[in-house]
């Protein structure tokens, strides 16, 4: 079994250090800011100085998932990686007037900086992986975490993060075409086979890429495979999609904004909802055309 | 459950396919040289001497993409050439890359800074898109696709994840490896770290002074036994062990004693149930930076307790191909096993004072090569080791 223990998010909603997040969600506007805690209370001074926003929010939420034993696996999903430092280094090399370049932005531009910073901070020597399959990066990371537990590990940190930079706005209406605001967010949680207090667990996850299949059919097959009667679902969280199920549906993009890690925050919202009452929740991620991620959460 | 290897493909500065790569390895022909590119200036690189358009035409590619995607398509198609897609065999693709479509993005940013740019070009940027483009060229649909980005260990980690997903019954067959194109971004990144040697790199040599960058792609096909019964593929090796661990020492440097490297090599050996003395050859990470080679040498001595088997770094031929290196070197490991050869470490003359390890210096034939250990260590502290074994 894949039980969710601690979970933490920083987003444009009030999500950090709250036991319950699903009731206080507000529909985001273009002006909704990223709501960050006082990083100086959590991160060491060097991290405060050097780390970009995506690294700060990832490390902070990861720290909130730490328990008494060491993680035996750290899995991070990120669709676009450390965009701010990537852009900074692109500008550095284009504007350089001398032959000497500062390496800091380059060092922190690689996707695995997120997992690397977490392992450095925790002095953790375990499996450390970074998956980057666009908007499916979170689902793939979750699947990897579950696979690690099946292989005999017991205490896994899984998370996803993506950040916005102004450049992304320039792509809107041409390459991206979204009415939702671009956001930054990080969600990390602790996955174990040991039962948690609330008993909320991941029943199954599905990743389907480069697919022209009918999503509603895939959803029905997925539920059937998991012996889950569609009428028994508590809620379906989706990324702005027509879903034929009669269950109560919530478009999570209203609350997450446009972000490749959006389904990770939807996952946290689902966990929060289930912490209130027993039931099952389906998260449907079809943010990018032809790519589908499904997660079934139960309690 | 055994994980069989049933295909391989590679493109690098020493050849456009497996056979060309083998001949260069055999003839001690390095692909690293000065180019007339204004980007790389007076630095030698292992670049592939054809433009994207030339490569697309030569290999009859149907899908458009960044150079990273194009190199990936070429090597992945070679790896999969004797295979057919079938609804009976769940086939996936897991590809490692560190830069994705950066070769296009960096030009886009030049235009952007001038105030006028074509946003369409950015669609090739995300690393995950390079993998989708490779999948499209292979005709893979409705499948599991993933991209791993753990810097220089990306392809090794992609190989590992593919094997794990077969073991866990998520996939029956998977194309795994990595691809990275030379870009101005990575070139300047490594230049800013001041880890280039202006001369030819000399892995494990006492006078080594940095790496040469390269580009390329390498993929292998992994299959379960059940999948082979359906596909009738001919196995060419077994992936018998793997491990990925974290050095957790520094964002860019390896620990002096190679702690993470020791963990990953020991983990892979333990999984394969092999003793140290059963390893016939080690394809080392061997970037030729003072830090990596000292750290890796220490780790080799620790793991093999002084009896280090024949080892070499083929980065002296290809340059450091970053996320692709673990894929390219997995192909070389298969060549070593199937042709009974050991590849030399070019440009070596003098052992590192502290460790005194001497790599394989000559191309040797008619060797019995049963088990090859291949190391890939990434910037950020990702250490991965895989073991490829012969069929018997």
The per-residue DSSP string of A88-117 comes to HHHHHHHH--SS----HHHHTTSTTHHHHH
Residue from the list A94, A119, A123 with its beta carbon closest to the beta carbon of B109:
A94
Considering only CB atoms, which chain A residues are within 8 Å of B249? 120
Cα–Cα distance measured from residue B377 to residue B383, given in angstroms and rounded to the nearest whole number: 4
Which of A128, A221, A291 is best to mutate for the B interface (most B CBs within 10 A)? Answer: A128
Give the pLDDT mean for A25-52. Answer: 96
- Please enumerate in sequence order all residues whose Cβ is within 8 A of that of A224, keeping only pairs 6 or more positions apart, or say none: none
pLDDT per position as a tens digit, B246-290: 988 888 889 999 999 999 999 999 999 999 999 999 999 999 999
Give the pLDDT mean for B160-166. Answer: 98
pLDDT per position as a tens digit, A181-220: 999 999 999 999 999 999 999 999 999 999 999 999 999 9
Question: What is the residue extent of each domain of chain B?
Answer: 4-231, 241-389
Q: CB neighbours (10 Å) of residue B281?
A: 26
Task: Measure B267 CA to nearest chain A CA, in Å.
Answer: 11
Which single residue is written with the structure tokens 């149907």? B62
Measuring CA to CA, which residue among A70, A62, A201 is closest to residue A123?
A: A70
B380 and A210: CB-CB below 8 Å?
no
Give the pLDDT mean for B315-343. Answer: 98
Which single residue is written with the structure tokens 């022209």? A212
State what percent of residues in chain B have pLDDT above 90. 93
B149 and A134: CB-CB below 8 Å?
no
Which of B150, B171, B258, B383 is best to mutate for the A interface (most A CBs within 10 A)? Answer: B150
- Looking at residue B392, its pLDDT comes to 75
For chain B, what's the residue count?
392
Give the pLDDT mean for B301-322. Answer: 97
CATH class of B241-389: alpha beta
- Chain B residue with minimum CA distance to A211: B142
A209 and B189: CB-CB below 8 Å?
no
Measuring CA to CA, which residue among B55, B42, B40, B351 is closest to residue B186?
A: B40
Query: Does residue B380 have a pLDDT over 80?
Result: no
- Looking at residue B115, its pLDDT comes to 87
State what percent of residues in chain A have pLDDT above 70. 100
Which of A74, A109, A112 is best to mutate for the B interface (most B CBs within 10 A)? Answer: A112
- Looking at residue B68, its pLDDT comes to 98
Band the pLDDT of A259: cuts 50, 70, 90.
very high
B143 and A124: CB-CB below 8 Å?
no
- Looking at residue B121, its pLDDT comes to 87
A128 and B382: CB-CB below 8 Å?
yes
Specify the range with the lowest mean pLDDT, choosing from A16-20, B118-122, B185-189, B212-216. B118-122
Give the pLDDT mean for B316-344. Answer: 98
- Chain A residue with minimum CA distance to B137: A210
Fold designation for B4-231: Peroxisomal Thiolase; Chain A, domain 1 (3.40.47)
B241-389 matches B4-231 in CATH topology: yes
Tokens of A145: 């975490």
Query: Does residue B349 have a pLDDT over 80?
Result: yes
Task: Measure B194 CA to nearest chain A CA, in Å.
Answer: 9
Band the pLDDT of A28: cuts 50, 70, 90.
very high
- Looking at residue B281, its pLDDT comes to 98
B146 and A128: CB-CB below 8 Å?
no
Q: CB neighbours (10 Å) of residue A99?
A: 7
- Looking at residue A173, its pLDDT comes to 80
Query: Does residue A247 have a pLDDT over 80?
Result: yes
CB-based burial of residue B36 (10 Å sphere; 0-12 exposed, 13-18 middle, 19+ buried)? exposed
Band the pLDDT of A159: cuts 50, 70, 90.
very high
Band the pLDDT of A98: cuts 50, 70, 90.
confident
Residue from the list A94, A115, A170 with its beta carbon closest to the beta carbon of B113:
A94
- Please enumerate in sequence order all residues whose Cβ is within 8 A of that of B38, keeping only pairs 6 or more positions apart, or say none: none
Residue from the list A74, A111, A123 with its beta carbon closest to the beta carbon of B127:
A111
pLDDT per position as a tens digit, A105-145: 999 999 999 999 999 999 999 999 999 999 999 999 999 99
- Looking at residue B224, its pLDDT comes to 98
Alpha carbons within 13 angstroms on the beta-carbon side of residue B370 total 9
Alpha carbons within 13 angstroms on the beta-carbon side of residue B298 total 15
Q: What is the DSSP letter of B87?
A: T
Output the average pLDDT for chain A. 96
- In terms of DSSP H, where are the helices of chain B? 18-26, 52-58, 67-79, 102-113, 127-138, 154-167, 184-192, 225-231, 259-272, 290-303, 315-318, 325-339
The reported pTM is: 0.98
B150 and A101: CB-CB below 8 Å?
no
Tokens of B243: 């491990």
Residue from the list B105, B167, B381 with its beta carbon closest to the beta carbon of A119:
B381
Specify the range with the lowest mean pLDDT, choosing from A288-297, B220-229, B379-388. B379-388
Contact indicator for B336, B369 with CB cutoff of 8 Å? yes
A210 and B150: CB-CB below 8 Å?
no
């Amino acid at each position: 079994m894949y039980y969710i223990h601690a979970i933490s998010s920083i987003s444009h909603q009030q999500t950090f250090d709250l036991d319950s997040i699903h009731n206080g969600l507000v529909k985001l506007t273009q002006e909704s800011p990223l709501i960050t805690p006082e990083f100086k209370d959590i991160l060491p001074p060097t991290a405060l100085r050097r780390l970009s926003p995506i690294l700060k929010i990832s490390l902070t939420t990861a720290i909130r998932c730490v328990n008494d034993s060491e993680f035996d696996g750290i899995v991070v999903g990120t669709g676009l990686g450390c965009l701010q430092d990537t852009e900074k280094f692109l500008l550095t090399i284009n504007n350089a007037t001398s032959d000497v370049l500062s390496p800091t932005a380059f060092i922190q531009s690689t996707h695995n900086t997120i997992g690397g910073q977490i392992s450095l901070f925790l002095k953790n020597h375990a499996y450390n992986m970074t998956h980057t399959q666009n908007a499916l990066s979170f689902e793939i990371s979750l699947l990897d975490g579950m696979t690690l537990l099946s292989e005999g590990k017991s205490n896994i940190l899984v998370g996803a993060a993506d950040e916005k930079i102004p450049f992304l706005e320039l792509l809107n209406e041409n390459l991206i075409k979204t009415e939702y605001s671009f956001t930054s967010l990080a969600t990390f949680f602790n996955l174990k086979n040991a039962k948690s207090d609330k008993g909320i667990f991941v029943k199954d996850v599905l990743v389907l890429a480069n697919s022209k299949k009918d999503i509603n059919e895939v959803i029905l097959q997925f539920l059937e495979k998991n012996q889950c009667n569609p009428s028994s679902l508590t809620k379906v969280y989706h990324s702005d999609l027509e879903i034929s199920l009669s269950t109560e549906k919530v478009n999570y993009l209203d609350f997450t904004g446009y972000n490749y890690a959006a389904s990770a925050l939807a996952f946290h919202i689902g966990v929060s909802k289930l912490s209130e009452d027993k039931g099952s929740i389906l998260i449907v991620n079809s943010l990018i055309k032809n790519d589908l991620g499904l997660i079934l959460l139960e309690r | 459950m055994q994980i069989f290897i049933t295909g391989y493909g590679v493109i690098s500065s020493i050849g456009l396919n497996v056979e060309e790569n083998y001949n260069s390895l055999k003839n001690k022909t390095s692909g690293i040289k000065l180019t007339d590119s204004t980007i790389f200036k007076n630095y030698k690189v292992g670049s592939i001497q054809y433009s994207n358009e030339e490569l697309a035409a030569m290999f009859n590619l149907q899908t458009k993409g960044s150079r990273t995607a194009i190199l990936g398509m070429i090597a992945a198609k070679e790896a999969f050439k004797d295979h057919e897609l079938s609804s009976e065999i769940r086939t996936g693709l897991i590809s490692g890359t560190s830069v994705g479509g950066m070769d296009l993005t960096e030009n886009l940013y030049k235009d952007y800074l001038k105030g006028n740019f074509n946003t369409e070009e950015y669609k090739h940027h995300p690393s995950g898109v390079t993998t989708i483009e490779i999948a499209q060229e292979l005709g893979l649909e409705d499948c599991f696709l993933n991209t791993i980005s753990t810097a220089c260990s990306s392809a090794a980690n992609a190989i590992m994840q593919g094997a794990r997903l077969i073991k866990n019954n998520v996939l029956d067959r998977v194309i795994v490896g990595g691809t990275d194109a030379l870009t101005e971004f990575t070139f300047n990144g490594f230049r800013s770290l001041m880890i280039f040697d202006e001369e030819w790199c000399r892995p494990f040599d006492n006078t080594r002074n940095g790496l040469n960058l390269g580009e390329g792609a390498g993929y292998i096909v992994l299959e379960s036994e059940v999948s082979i019964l359906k596909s009738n593929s001919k196995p060419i090796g077994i992936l018998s062990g793997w491990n990925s661990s974290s050095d957790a020492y520094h964002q860019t440097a390896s620990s002096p004693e190679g702690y993470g490297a020791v963990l990953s090599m020991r983990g892979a050996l333990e999984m394969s149930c092999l003793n140290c003395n059963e390893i016939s050859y080690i394809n080392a990470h061997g970037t030729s930076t003072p830090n990596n080679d000292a750290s890796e040498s220490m780790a080799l001595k620790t793991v093999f307790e002084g009896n280090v088997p024949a080892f070499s770094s083929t980065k002296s031929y290809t340059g450091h191909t970053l996320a692709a290196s673990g894929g390219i070197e997995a192909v070389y490991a298969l060549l070593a096993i199937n042709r009974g050869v050991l590849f030399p470490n070019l440009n070596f003359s003098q052992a590192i004072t502290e460790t005194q390890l001497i790599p394989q210096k000559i191309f040797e034939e008619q060797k019995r090569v049963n088990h090859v250990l291949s190391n890939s260590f990434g910037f950020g502290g990702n250490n991965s080791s895989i073991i490829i074994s012969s069929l018997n």
